[in-house]
Structure 1
Amino acid sequence: MRLRIRHAEGMATLSDMKEDQTISILKNSIKNAIDLSGAQDIQSIVYNIIDINAFLTDSFELVSGGYPPKPFNDMNATLSNAGLRDGDTLNIKVLDTVAPQQQSNTSTASSGTANTLKEGSVQTANGVLQLRGNLHYVLRRDTTISPELRKVIVDGIKNNSDMYSDTADKFKITIDKYMEWIQKPNSWGGAIELAIFSACFGVEIDSIDVQTGRIDKFGEGSYDERVLIVYSGIHYDALALTPTADSPPDFDQTRFPVSEGSILDAAKQLVDGLRKSHKFTDIANFTLKCEQCNTGLKGEKDAQDHAAATGHTRFTEYA
């Protein structure tokens, strides 16, 4: 089995994996292939498989860009049982361990500045702002309440059916179909959902797009506090302020006064660093392959047109 591995430094290829090998073996093979140091480990392995039925609803500005990533959490599952096939592409996220001396040096940053510690974090006058979990984390400090949040979305749509009916008519999808879709565990939402969460949790949600640097503020002017999230084109990551780079989550601050402009400035700098490292997916121009006929495609429009013309519904991203 031949697998392509996409990571921060580029691409690698595994040419001799077996279908009956486990995800744990795959993880170790990836570590060797990309030559991780002893202070690094693989935080996540994500299989980008596109379900066009979800992809077509991207007209609703879906968070995932139409293909929610499938993370591998069961290290004992075989590659075959995990759904991997020859030629698939995997995205990996590497977790860095910052040495104590590095932390000591960067902690002396002067007040009001933001010096880069490591990718995905910046030093501020009050601590380290860094990527931490997903959207659920900034709302409830819990990453396991996805079903509850999906119900919040459905209730929000039902309570404002007139507003969302207009949107549904525009994009040729019924509200009932959308509410059914958003409750599926692999479905991801976007602007609609963020507006609902802002109202439900009584907080401004500031979403910063890595590719463009654009900031979308949901609930702006209505609340005294804000939470910060970063959109990579595939998913959202939460931002938290921590006393040090390796502080446990118990000390995280995820809500900030809207009057505190310095924290938003630090978030912008963090995102600037991610953009320079190309830590985003350009859904308008990424390259896809139809799994059913091997046709090469570019971007979501090609995928939508191909699906409409052929009825094919499964696509994979490739480099």
Structure 2
Amino acid sequence: MLRLRCKTKNGSHIMQGLTHQSSVQELKSKVEELTGIPCDVQKIMVGYPPSSLDLRNRDAHLRDYPIKSGDTLIVEEKNKMKTQTINSAVTKGPRLESPPVLARRVVPADNSCLFTSVSYVVEGGVYDPACAPEMRGLITQIVSSNPMAYSEAVLGKTNEEYCTWIRRDDTWGGAIEVSILSKFHQCEICVVDTQTVRVDRFGEDAGYHKRVLLIYDGIHYDPLQKETPGSDAPPQTIFSTTDDIILAQALELADEARRKRQFTDVNRFALRCLVCQTGLVGQKEAREHAKETGHANFGEV
């Protein structure tokens, strides 16, 4: 017996009564029964990143597909092409609105892209280019007030050194800062990596109800938002933590960026120490140089 979960943008359903011997038609009929999406316009995806199943052969058995018990099937309704008869006397037809899409909102690469991006999504799409000093100060306050939780073992430097370091406007944020901001804003922050096509979910097990999304290319963060092309409607940046379809769409964006090689290999990219002008390659050499010299100001060549 297969125990599957069917997820749509409107909720989640447990699918019962199917086995590996069941046909594709039985699966599609069960999906229609649970979701109301007709069989002929179903798009069924499985796995992470989600990939569409070719279910055109309705007599095929589920054993022929990469579906196993416990899997979550993500179901969307395919866009149906609509034809319309236009009277020759009519010169202007009705305007058809485009469906909302998930898109990247580019922010400046000014060493504070993480802070700008987090501020943008948690504030519901409000761009504040001056938010970084305040957010750096907030992180400093949280870290300095709890030296037991934020020890040298966690931070990679002493609590005091970290607080001095993170306040600087040429310091990049990363996983530690995302984790702190997730707790402060009481929301799950999902970071989608364009090199690995992986999503890291900060605050995943904390029981938060809100989710925001960032996309990361190895050195730069941008916020993700759902927007309607050609519309003046404000973008959506805050989603429910039960909305796995938005995660699937974010991973599709990341996979498209990977195919276009829109990422930086942090193990191979060229850097220069802006203090002594030494040439370096990758994060490892930069960390070793910083440890040996105390220099921590690097620029990409």
Task: State the TM-score bracket (shorter-chain normalisation).
Answer: 0.5 to 0.7
**Long gaps (5+) in structure 1:** 1-109, 114-124
Secondary structure at 1:200 match in 2: helix
* 1:175–1:272 Cα change, 3 Å: same
- Which moves more between the two structures, 201-210 or 309-318? 309-318
Partner amino acid for 1:226? R
> Matched residues in 2 for 1:164 and 1:289: separation?
30
> Matched residues in 1 for 2:298 and 2:173: separation?
20
Q: What is the correspondence of 1:1-319 to structure 2 with a 5 Å cutoff?
A: 111=77, 127-132=100-105, 133=107, 134-140=117-123, 141-144=126-129, 145-167=131-153, 171=156, 173-221=157-205, 222-244=207-229, 246-248=230-232, 251-289=234-272, 296-306=279-289, 316-318=299-301
1:306: Cα distance to partner? 4.8
Partner amino acid for 1:282? D
1:138: Cα distance to partner? 0.3
Compare CA radii of gyration and give the structure with the larger one.
2
1:316: Cα distance to partner? 4.8
Fraction of identical pairs, as percent: 39
**Long gaps (5+) in structure 2:** 1-75, 80-97, 108-116
* 1:174–1:260 Cα change, 3 Å: same
| TM-score, normalised by the number of residues in structure 2 | 0.57
Q: Residue 135 of structure 1 contacts residue 236 of structure 1 at CA under 8 Å; is this kept in 2?
A: no
Q: Residue 150 of structure 2 contacts residue 159 of structure 2 at CA under 8 Å; is this kept in 1?
A: yes
What RMSD, in angstroms, separates the aligned Cα atoms of the two structures? 2.8
- Which moves more between the two structures, 288-297 or 175-184? 288-297
> Matched residues in 2 for 1:295 and 1:146: separation?
28
Q: Residue 121 of structure 2 contacts residue 238 of structure 2 at CA under 8 Å; is this kept in 1?
A: yes
- 1:273-311 deviation per Cα after TM superposition (whole angstroms, max 9, x unaligned): 111111111111113456788765422223344566677
What is the count of residue pairs matched by the alignment?
194
- Which moves more between the two structures, 173-182 or 266-275? 173-182
Q: Residue 112 of structure 1 contacts residue 262 of structure 1 at CA under 8 Å; is this kept in 2?
A: no
